[in-house]
């Protein structure tokens, strides 16, 4: 399953999703960044077989 892990104000954790595709999650990440600017941390969260894996978007991701 694909989610976004957001740290609002780089403090308050939030989970958004699930997203059916990577493309849908990427679109949501860009929309969140556009609306909130640099206020929040935005991370990918994948859960497979009940095992979570988080990762950071590169700065260049949001420049596309």
Q: What is the pLDDT of residue 46?
A: 97
Q: 11-57, pLDDT tens digit by residue?
A: 999 999 999 999 999 999 999 999 998 899 999 999 999 999 999 99
Q: What is the pLDDT of residue 63?
A: 85
pTM given for the model: 0.90
Q: What is the pLDDT of residue 17?
A: 98
Number of folded domains in the chain?
Answer: 1
**DSSP letters for 3-48:** EEEEEETTTEEEEEEEESSHHHHHHHHHHHHHHHTTSSEEEEEEEE
Give me the domain span that covers residue 47: 2-63
Q: Rounded to an integer, what distance in angstroms lies between the CA atom of residue 19 and that of residue 55? A: 16
């Amino acid at each position: 399953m694909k989610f976004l892990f957001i740290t609002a104000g780089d403090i308050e954790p939030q989970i958004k999703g699930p997203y059916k595709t990577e493309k849908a999650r990427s679109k949501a990440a860009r929309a969140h960044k556009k609306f909130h600017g640099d206020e929040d941390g935005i991370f990918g969260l994948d859960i497979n077989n009940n095992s979570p894996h988080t990762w950071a978007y590169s700065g260049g991701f949001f420049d596309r």
